[in-house]
Each structure stands twice: as structure tokens, then as C-alpha cells.
Amino acid sequence: MTDQTATPRSFSASVPLKGGIAIPGDKSISHRSLMLSALAVGESRVTGLLEGHDVLATAAAMRAMGATIERRDDGEWRIHGVGVGGLLQPREALDMGNSGTSTRLLMGLVASHPITTTFVGDASLSGRPMGRVIDPLSQMGADISASPGGRLPLMVRGLTPAIPLSYRLPMASAQVKSAILLAGLNTPGITEVIEPVPTRDHSERMLKGFGADLAVELGSDGTRHIRIRGEAELKPQTIVVPGDPSSAAFFIVAALIVPGSDITIANVGLNPTRAGLVEVLQQMGGDISLVNARTVGGEPVADLRVRHSALKGIAVDPAVVPSMVDEFPILFVAAALAEGRTVTTGLDELRVKESDRIAVMAAGLKAIGARVEESDDGLIIDGTGGDPLPGGATIAGHLDHRICMSFAIAGLVSKAPVTIDDIAPVATSFPNFEALLAGLQQ
């Protein structure tokens, strides 16, 4: 059945991209800014908040549970928190839209509060596995009833006091880690997460910044032990959200593959747990230089100057996967334009993102004439060596913002236009994506 409300959009061979842009705030940090501010006692102020649908879903949920959250005309957000333990029972189901981060982190938050909360979401989110958070949160005492397969809609009946837990993550997931730490905030004693493979550490940095008693210790086997002491009191903060490297990624790759391009992307967050793509593209021969490296809101940030480059295929080290887990769709587009073969492995987690990003990227890239082979846990791509792709296909975006944006960029280096069946999902993480692209094409 065709979706009558879908908004198709075509992207065609581009003039060189020139000029400068600033990309919107980091999605992960924006979610956490709202959640932690809503649990602090007093008023927090946040600038640079990403105003995409996913983050707005978190804002609406925190409001529904008692926080006062306002956006001022100058773009600053002011949040009055309810205090740890003070979340109120929402009157209606929390609508998480497309946002896995909102869902999993909030499930953690409510698991140790004496409230019952129902979570619902769109078709993409309702297909995603929640068992990974249901298991540890149930061990902490929450009573969770989910739809078949551990999916949404689901209901969490929180337990206070919850039972502290020491939990070894069975998969590399910052969302699961964060859900447990957030549940630990209102749990007596020490809650511990053991992380065999490091994932984005925004929760650890921000919880400490808000005054929680949190410590990270490295085990002799390289595992990270993250311990939080519960029944914490969080102090309100003033937060400046750095630009999202996962959004910058689309323009980094666009400038590398569109001949003649030379752009500067301001204020890009380069936390080492997020910056894998820049490293990999540099290994492929990408001309990316870091300018004006500095610290913003406790996070490393720089401006990136990116120039068109002749990329070469490489075997991507699976150890970098967690530091660029959201960037593989756009890396695949870069690989499709590189000279030679790019091999990616260890990408099992991509199959449970907003879509199965291995299968969906393989199908879409083949449809526009790229040479791609799918394996269990990655793609093998033989690039064009810089020649344009044939293009001329309509791509199913599967309600996945990063799929839509990746094929939009692929359209810029295709002979015939690439059409995305529905561009709307882009607004979940990057509402001004098309406007920024148009600005660089002037």
C-alpha cells in the first residue's frame, strides 16, 4: 500500500559544495540534557539543544512526568526538575515516535520510580528489540509487560526502592548502559555496569557534571566498570550542546565525494567515543583537518575543513564500530565512490537500528548501481574510483533518517536523480538538513 502522507524527494548531481555550516546539537547529549535537568532540583539552562522530533519526544515525556520545560525565543531551554525520585505518573502513554534512545533511557528512569508508564512508538520503533533493557531492569525489580518479542507497546511498573545490580553488557550499547545507570540514580547503594567494549560515554560525563557520585574504573582485562551511587541529588546545570558528529557525517562525506568541494563545518563534537568516522575517512585518504580544537560543555569540539578527495577502499577495523555505529550508512556511500574494495565487519548491531541498516543500504546501493555484497555482519563494497554512480532509482527509507540522508548524499554523485520515497524521517535528528545542503550549493 502506498503511504499517502509520504513526501518523496529527489537529489541530483551537485555543483561543488562550498562555504561554511554549523550543524545542530548532538542528539545523545540533547536527550540526556533534558532527562538529567528534569531530575535536578532547580533550574537548568540548555543552549544548542537539538530540536528534532526524537528530542522533542523526550521533552514531552519529561513534561508529562512533572518537569517544567520551556523554550525561550532566543533558543535557550529552561528546565525545572522534580528531583530524583520525584517523577509523577504520566496520565497517558508516552509517545516515543521513532526514538529508541528516548524509549530505552526513559524505561531506565521510570524503572526505579513508583509509577506505571506505557511506551508507544511508530512502526519502526515498534519493531525494535527492548529485551536488552527489559532484562536488566527486571532484575532491578521493575515489572515490565511488553508486546510479543519484547517490543512496544510496553508497560513499566517501577519499583521503589529498586534493587541495585551489577550487570555485564551482553552487547555494545550505550542505550542499555545508560538505562541501567539512570535506573541506578534512584536505587539505594551502588549500581554497576561492566562494559567489555567502550561505547559513547555522554551519560557518565553528564551524570558526573550534574553531581552524581559516579566512578569509572578500568579492569585488568580492559573492561570498564561504571559505578553509580543511588538516591543521588542532582544539581541544575548550564549546558552548551556541541554539534552532532553523526549529523556532520553526511556533510563530511558529501564534501569528500562531490568534486571541487571545500567546506567548513563548525562546532563538531569529537568525543573519542564518537569520532571513528573521521579517523576511518582519513585512512581512506579523506582530506579532513581539525581547526580550532577546544572544549565545549565538557566535550572536545573542533571545526572541520573538508575538501574533495580521491578515496581508497580499506578494511575497516571492527574495533572502531562502537565509535561510529550510526555512521556506517554514510560510510558505505563514501566506499561506493572510493577506488578499490572496502570491507566492513562486526556490524551486527546495525540490523536492529531504525531499520536493518545492512540490508537496507545493500538494497539501495545496488538499486543505484553500486557494487555491493552483503555478509552476515557487514558489507563489501567495490567503489567506482570517483566516477558517478548510475542513480535513477527510488529508495525505500524505512522510516530511518540516516538511510534517507545517506541516499540524499548519494544522489549528489549520481548521473540520474536518486529519489527517497519519504524524506520526513530526516526531521527526527536533522530538521535543517536540506536547507544546509542547499546553502552549500549556492
- Active-site residues, by number, are 326
Site map for ligand S3P, 78-107, x if CB under 6 A?
-----------------------x------
Q: 201 with 175: CB under 8 angstroms?
A: no
Contact between 173 and ligand S3P per CB under 6 A: yes
| Strands (DSSP E) found in 63-174 | 68-71, 77-80, 94-95, 116-120, 143-147, 151-157, 166-168
Q: Which amino acid is at 107?
A: M
Rule CB under 6 A: is residue 349 a binding residue for ligand S3P?
A: yes
Distance from C-alpha of 281 to C-alpha of 312, rounded to nearest angstrom: 9
Copy the grid coordinates of residue 227: 559505578
Distance (Å, rounded) from C-alpha 366 to C-alpha 183?
Answer: 43
**Distance in angstroms (rounded) separating the CA atoms of residues 284 and 338:** 8
Q: Does 323 bind ligand S3P (CB under 6 A)?
A: no
| DSSP-derived secondary structure for 157-173 | E--SSPPP-EEE-SS--
Pick from 441, 336, 343, 341: nearest CA to 387: 336
Residue 271 engages ligand S3P in binding (rule: CB under 6 A): no
Using the contact rule CB under 6 A, the part of the chain among 11-19, 117-125, 170-178, 247-255 near ligand S3P is: 170-178
Shortest Å distance, C-beta 328 to ligand S3P: 10
Of 325, 337, 389, 393, the one binding ligand S3P by CB under 6 A: 325
Sole window of 16-24, 172-180, 235-243, 378-386 interacting with ligand S3P (rule: CB under 6 A)? 172-180
Instruction: State the nearest-atom distance from the C-beta of 175 to ligand S3P, in Å.
Output: 3
Q: What is the DSSP letter of 428?
A: G
Binding track, positions 12-41, relative to ligand S3P; x by CB under 6 A: ----------------x-------------
Cα angle: 103, vertex 240, 230; to 5 degrees: 50
Q: According to the binding rule CB under 6 A, does residue 178 interact with ligand S3P? A: yes
State yes or no: residue 174 binds ligand S3P (CB under 6 A). yes
> Closer to ligand S3P at the Cβ: 227 or 357?
357
Which residues within the stretch 211-240 sit at the binding site for ligand S3P (CB under 6 A)?
Answer: none
Of 135-143, 167-175, 210-218, 263-271, the segment contacting ligand S3P by CB under 6 A is: 167-175
Site for ligand S3P in 350-409 (CB under 6 A): none
Pairing, β 224-229 against β 190-195: antiparallel
Stretch that binds ligand S3P, among 106-114, 119-127, 173-181, 234-242 (CB under 6 A): 173-181
Beta bridge partner(s), residue 372: 381
Cell 520525584 belongs to residue: 86
- Judged by CB under 6 A, does residue 414 bind ligand S3P? no
Distances (CA, A) of 91 to 99, 102, 120: 20, 18, 14
Q: How many residues bind ligand S3P (CB under 6 A)?
A: 10
Q: Are 179 and 199 in contact, with CB atoms under 8 Å apart?
A: no
Summarize as ranges the residues that interact with ligand S3P (CB under 6 A): 28, 101, 173-175, 178, 200, 325-326, 349
